[in-house]
């Protein structure tokens, strides 16, 4: 005899929001590093990106698949529709930013130079870096330093993570390194050794962080902006940032 319980379960699934949920393929690039992305066996097991995207997905009633991509492939994969959203983005980082859609700003980020607390180096402008070794994250683009690096006035030393770059600074293998204020605040929060570091007052760049959206994404930029605005006005974005930074 056909089970009415089974029928009820089938009907529930067929007409539940889960059965019709759109799937968003979201970049969770390992090179963004903590506090944006914490990766291990699981892509984006935690971090600002995951918590913000999960809060968004709940409001939008969509499912999410996270995809780890190197910096050089993100723009290409967005354009061909292999991924739909890169949530840590700025138009200045993309060669053809007009070929993609952009959300309203989600939060602000500053790039600053990290120095030893007891060091003598003072950075008041890019010119103060001439003849110095600059630690930089592999795959990151720093438009304001391109001329100095390409001319050889500044030697760029690429590293994979901030643990490595901090050790190099302490051992004198680089004179300074550039990072975002958000990453540095997280470092100071979780690592006692980071108390030996300071940031220069000089700000290399200040920019808005946006969600970069593929033209073929199954959700519109207008819908994305509406939900992100709701998350900001409700205090959810601030709550997520505070969790990792304060």
- At 77, is the pLDDT very low, low, confident or very high (cuts 50, 70, 90)? very high
CA 48 to centroid of chain Cα atoms: 8
Beta strands in 169-217 (DSSP E): 176-180, 197-213
Same domain, 114 and 197: yes
- Give 5's pLDDT tier (boundaries 50, 70, 90): low
Distance CA 172, CA 196 (A): 14
Q: What is the pTM of this model?
A: 0.85
Query: Kind of pairing, strands 155-159 and 197-213?
Result: unpaired
How far apart CA 49 and CA 46 sit, in angstroms, is: 8
Q: Is 41 or 152 the better-scoring residue by pLDDT?
A: 152
- The DSSP result for 103-121, as a single string, is PPP-EEEEEEEEEETT---
Roughly how many angstroms between the first and final C-alpha of the chain, as a whole number?
60
Mark whether 116 and 158 lie in a shared domain.
yes
Q: Are both 170 and 101 inside the same structural domain?
A: no
Q: 3-state DSSP call for residue 177?
A: strand
Residue 115: pLDDT above 80? Answer: yes
In a domain, 2, yes or no: no
pLDDT at residue number 140: 81
Same structural domain for residues 118 and 82? no
User: What token pair was written down for 161?
Assistant: 């993570």
Please indicate, yes or no, if residue 179 is contained in any of the structural domains.
Answer: yes
- Provide the residue range defining the domain that includes 47: 20-107+208-245
47 and 74 together in one domain = yes
CA separation for the pair 35, 245 (Å, rounded): 8
Long-range contacts, 75-82 (Cβ 8 Å, 24+) = 75/100, 77/27, 78/27, 78/212, 78/213, 78/214, 79/214, 79/215, 81/214, 81/215, 81/216, 81/217, 82/25
For residues 133 and 192, state if they share a domain: yes
Q: Does residue 24 sit in helix, strand or coil?
A: strand
CATH number of the domain residue 32 falls in: 3.40.190.10
Cα separation values, 17 from 13, 14, 39, 63, 97, Å = 8, 8, 29, 11, 34
Regarding whether 180 and 150 lie in a shared domain, the answer is yes
Within a domain: residue 103? yes
* Cβ atoms within 10 Å of 19's Cβ, excluding its own: 9
- Per the domain annotation, does 52 fall within a domain? yes
Q: Is residue 199 located within the same domain as residue 115?
A: yes
Do 202 and 115 belong together in one domain? yes
Please report, for residues 109, 134, 138, 175, 206, the alpha-carbon distance to residue 185 in angstroms, rounded to integers and kept in the order given. 11, 20, 20, 20, 16
Q: What is the mean pLDDT of residues 153-169?
A: 91
Of 146, 138, 192, 127, nearest to 164 by C-alpha is 138
Tell me the average pLDDT of the chain. 90
- Mean of pLDDT values over 50-72: 96
- In terms of domains, do 189 and 223 share one? no
Q: Is 12 inside any structural domain?
A: no
Q: Are both 154 and 236 inside the same structural domain?
A: no
Residue 181: band (very low, low, confident or very high) from pLDDT cuts 50, 70, 90: very high
Residue 147 maps to a domain:
yes
Whether residues 197 and 117 share a domain: the answer is: yes
Structural domain tally of the chain?
2
């Amino acid at each position: 005899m056909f089970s009415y319980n089974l029928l009820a379960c089938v009907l529930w699934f067929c007409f539940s929001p889960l059965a019709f949920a759109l799937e968003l393929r979201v970049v969770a690039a390992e090179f963004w590093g903590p506090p944006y992305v914490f990766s291990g066996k699981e892509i984006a097991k935690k971090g600002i990106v995951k918590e913000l995207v999960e809060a968004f997905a709940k409001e939008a009633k969509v499912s999410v698949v996270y995809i780890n991509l190197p910096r050089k492939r993100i723009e290409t994969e967005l354009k061909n529709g292999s991924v739909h959203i890169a949530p840590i983005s700025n138009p200045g980082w993309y060669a053809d930013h007009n070929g993609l859609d952009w959300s309203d700003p989600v939060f602000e980020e500053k790039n600053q130079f990290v120095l030893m607390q007891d060091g003598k180096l003072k950075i008041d402008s890019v010119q103060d870096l001439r003849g110095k070794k600059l630690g930089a994250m592999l795959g990151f683009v720093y438009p304001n330093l391109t001329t100095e690096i390409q001319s050889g006035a500044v030697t760029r030393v690429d590293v994979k993570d901030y643990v490595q770059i901090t050790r190099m600074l302490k051992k004198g293998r680089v004179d300074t390194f550039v990072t975002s204020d958000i990453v540095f605040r997280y470092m100071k929060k979780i690592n006692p050794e980071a108390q030996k570091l300071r940031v220069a007052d000089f700000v290399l760049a200040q920019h808005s962080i946006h969600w970069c959206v593929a033209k073929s994404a199954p959700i519109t930029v207008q819908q994305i902006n509406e939900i992100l605005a709701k998350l900001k006005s409700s205090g959810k974005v601030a709550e997520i940032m505070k969790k990792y930074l304060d």
